[in-house]
Structure 1
Amino acid sequence: MNVVAEMLLETPAPAAIWATLWILTLPAVLLLASPEAMRNPGELLRTLARYLRLPAGRGEKRRELALEALAATQFAEEVRVAADRAALAAGRWHERWETASDEVTEAWQAWLDADARLRVRRAAAVFGTPWSAQTPTEYAARERFLHKAVRTAADNGWLPAAAVADALAGRAGWDARLHPLEQELVVFTAAAGHLRDRYERAVEAEAAARHDATLARRTSDSLRQESWIAAGRAAELRRLLPARMSVTTATSEPAVAAVWH
């Protein structure tokens, strides 16, 4: 037997003092748990008296139930917040998917238009091109025609902006010596290839966006279902609490507290 226990058994005065102090400080503990409880001190004292009369085992069981309800309520709140955020994210991913789908449609139409222009130009090329002498003046005129044709195609989105620099430098297959009709055929061919590549990239991007949107929606649905289950469990545990005890969640922060009413 330790010294404290020996003293309490042999000298009852310290034990009585200790018990009195414990009883007197218990209302302060309840006040810290719920300031609203002090609005009705009489009801608080009556509730306190009822719990002081509870057997030790029964009181411990209720305390454990309260702690379990606290944990379940806090978990339900955290899952609800996560589900709300996942729903917002799923909405944004769905918008990206819709944008990617629109880009596929636009890229497909642009490729069809470019292919139609190319077919028309190829049909005209069957008749050949008129012959003209390769003089410096003729070469300068063809060079200006090529630069203008490439710049116009780039402005219309048929060619990338880098094609203009390549044409000005005479690289990447751009040949100013060709006849203007042949140059048009080269420009339309390059434009059709570029727009086809853009369409294929748009299809890949749309598939990736669809996959991400589907995954985000599944995650959101799963979290929402988990939120419902957690909220139901927390509500069930709160119904088992005493009538004068409840579990509340602060709206400004995720902290959860047990309060007396």
Structure 2
Amino acid sequence: MNILAEMLLTEPAPMAIWAALLLATLPALVVLASPHNVRHPGRALIDTVGFLRRRAERRDEERRQRLEEALHASRYAEEIQVAADQAGLAAQRWQGGWEDACERVDAAWREWQAADARRARSRATAAFGTPYTAKTPAEYAYRERFLHRAVEEATARGELPAEALADALSGRNGWDARLHPADQERVVQQVSADYLARLHERAAEAERAAWRDAARARRNRDSLVREAAIAEARAAAVEHLIPAAGVTSREIFRPAFA
């Protein structure tokens, strides 16, 4: 018995012969297993073949479902990885936008502080009073030209909004061409400092919004990276169910009973 077992385990040909003999005798065993089958052997064989066919079809259906699930897991892993890569690029762009916003805040702060320093010096000189000038038509014309030129230059430097020049030319919103040039200079510096302070506040608000957007993009990237890692692990676990290249589905699901 030991010699027979060793031969069956080491030699494939005897094992194949024994399997073929077992399959050949299976119909006879089925017929002899029941008195009803002995009386109706043809029906018993038909039922047996039908049972074996249905069983093979169920196995094929289960294999097909497992294959579809494995293919779905593989496709999902690829798609979520692409989404994670795109989210990483988007996070980099949002990070770059936030860094640019930080630079604009710093620049707006420096410009505001410089304008505020000029306003402080102008206030200090106001203690000495305004030089006397004769109020003649020529003097008023000079004052008007001085105001227009001062506002125009400040607007060109970005220290005043564009509409300030139109207001100065028409004498609106506190621009008074009748003031002494020293007083006009103080008004220009005051309005400029206030305007640059508002610009700094807007830049700070934009920087805070950019930070929130960058943080949201990083969270989205991190979430997709984690999901991609999980999907990759799931796909790797069922990768063995996917046939190798060149193997067709007809070969995978070849019917057991043609």
Tell me whether the two structures share a fold, i.e. TM-score over 0.5: yes
Counterpart CA distance in 2 for 1:259 and 1:100 is: 60
Judged with a 3 Å threshold, the aligned counterparts in structure 2 of structure 1 residues 170 and 258 are, in CA distance, closer, same or farther, namely farther
Judged with a 3 Å threshold, the aligned counterparts in structure 2 of structure 1 residues 142 and 259 are, in CA distance, closer, same or farther, namely farther
Counterpart CA distance in 2 for 1:85 and 1:69 is: 24
Residue 91 of structure 1 and its aligned partner are, at CA, apart by: 1.1
| Greater gyration radius | 2
- Count, aligned residues: 200
Q: Give the aligned partner of residue 101 of structure 1.
A: 102
Judged with a 3 Å threshold, the aligned counterparts in structure 2 of structure 1 residues 259 and 56 are, in CA distance, closer, same or farther, namely closer
Residue 177 of structure 1 and its aligned partner are, at CA, apart by: 0.3
Comparing 162-171 with 175-184, which one deviates more in the overlay? 162-171
Higher relative contact order (CA 8 A, sep 6+): 1
Q: Give the aligned partner of residue 84 of structure 1.
A: 85
Asked if 2 retains the 8 angstrom alpha-carbon contact of 1:246 and 1:260, the reply is no
Q: Give the aligned partner of residue 191 of structure 1.
A: 192
Q: Give the aligned partner of residue 203 of structure 1.
A: 204
Comparing 225-234 with 186-195, which one deviates more in the overlay? 225-234
Judged with a 3 Å threshold, the aligned counterparts in structure 2 of structure 1 residues 143 and 247 are, in CA distance, closer, same or farther, namely farther
Asked if 2 retains the 8 angstrom alpha-carbon contact of 1:246 and 1:259, the reply is no
SS, match of residue 126 in structure 1: helix
| Structure 1 residues without counterparts, runs of 5 or longer | 1-8, 10-51, 249-256
Q: Give the aligned partner of residue 70 of structure 2.
A: 69
Asked if 2 retains the 8 angstrom alpha-carbon contact of 1:247 and 1:259, the reply is no
Asked if 2 retains the 8 angstrom alpha-carbon contact of 1:238 and 1:247, the reply is no
Judged with a 3 Å threshold, the aligned counterparts in structure 2 of structure 1 residues 181 and 91 are, in CA distance, closer, same or farther, namely same
Residue 259 of structure 1 and its aligned partner are, at CA, apart by: 9.9
Residue 118 of structure 1 and its aligned partner are, at CA, apart by: 0.6
TM-score (norm 1): 0.71
Percent identical residues: 51
Q: Give the aligned partner of residue 142 of structure 1.
A: 143
Q: Which has more helix, going by share of residues?
A: 2
Q: Give the aligned partner of residue 164 of structure 1.
A: 165
| Structure 2 residues without counterparts, runs of 5 or longer | 1-41, 43-52, 253-258
Asked if 2 retains the 8 angstrom alpha-carbon contact of 1:73 and 1:247, the reply is no
Counterpart CA distance in 1 for 2:152 and 2:224 is: 52
Q: Map 1:13-28 onto structure 2 (within 5 A).
A: none
Asked if 2 retains the 8 angstrom alpha-carbon contact of 1:118 and 1:192, the reply is yes
Q: Give the aligned partner of residue 128 of structure 2.
A: 127
